[in-house]
Chains A and B, each alone.
Chain A
Amino acid sequence: MTTLLPIERRIRVAAALVLVGIVIEAVTLRILHPLSFVLFAALGALAIGAGILVYLLALLRASEAA
């Protein structure tokens, strides 16, 4: 098993968070109800936003380390 570099661990976390957001988006788009919109706009946006932030921080940390 390959040992992961710190940036790769962060990318994995970022991918997991964004994937959660994408799943929330897919599920809420199947349900026609006001709460599904709220869920999408709150949790979906939060998960995708957090994932992107982790990814950008990972790139920043990697460039600093280099």
Chain B
Amino acid sequence: MGIELVGLLAITAALLLVLLLRPATTRERGGRVLAFLGILALPTLAFAVGFNAHVERSKKREFCLSCHIMEPYGKSLAIDDDEYVPASHVQNNRVHRDEACFTCHTTYALYGDIKAKIGGLRHIAVNYLGAPPDTIRLYRPYNNRECLHCHEGARSFESSDAHTETDTTMTAIKANRLSCMSSGCHDLVHDVRNIGQLPMWKGARS
């Protein structure tokens, strides 16, 4: 929580306390202005700023992993094998470590962040009101767009032998017709079923 938001909440609470304890102050013009600020203007602003702060915090890896069901997915980021896509991305700082989950699981399209958050509310509903499935699956197949958001144009991606194997391979990847996670390509992802048997990188941050 930023110092600005703390200050805003403190000022709002102070004004509200005055109104709560001395509502008769509103008999004066100054008191009426205080009531407008304390009950209407500042709380509306505080809610908007607080909502934004909550949304920003929900991008944190710690936030995603705070649910017990996500723990193995957090552990999978420490797998000591460069073939595992999420682990190698996090360990080599290809994504911001603190926002690793969000970076790959948001949608890089218009309103993608909002859609990701609505999806998050659905996760909460299933986790607390329903029965979480034994195997967690994505709602839709992973879209190459999310990978291409960073990799498109990168030399390592554009000039890779595998990506230029045939004349149509690159076009198919960019059109999402050939998944990056196709068998034999980048198909090692979280692998939570075998997490107990996989080697872990000792330098991984918990």
Chain B residue, CB-CB nearest to A28: B54
1/0 per residue, CB under 8 A from A, across B77-88: the answer is 000000000000
Contact A38/B124 with A25-B46, A48-B47, A55-B40 known, Cβ cut-off 8 Å: yes
Q: Are A16 and B20 in contact, CB atoms less than 8 angstroms apart? A: yes
Does the CB pair B39–A22 fall under 8 Å? no
| A-side interface mostly | helix
Q: Which of A6-33 contact B (CB under 8 A)?
A: 7-9, 11-12, 14-16, 18-19, 21-23, 25-26, 28-30, 32-33
B63's partner among A12, A32, A40, A56 (CB-CB below 8 A) is: A32
Q: Does B53 touch A at the CB level, under 8 Å?
A: yes
Q: How far is the CA of A14 from the CA of B38 in the complex (A)?
A: 10
Asked whether any CB of chain B lies closer than 8 Å to the CB of A41, the reply is yes
A22 touches B16 (CB 8 A): yes
* Closest CB in chain A relative to B13 CB, distance in Å: 5
Contact with B26, one of A8, A22, A34, A44 (Cβ below 8 angstroms): A8
Docked CA distance A39–B101 (Å): 23
* Residue A65 lies at the interface, judged by CB distance under 8 Å to chain B: no
Q: Identify the B interface with A (CB < 8 A).
A: 1, 5, 9, 12-13, 16-17, 19-20, 23-24, 26-27, 35, 38-40, 43-44, 46-47, 50-51, 53-54, 57-58, 60, 62-63, 66-67, 120-121, 123-124, 128
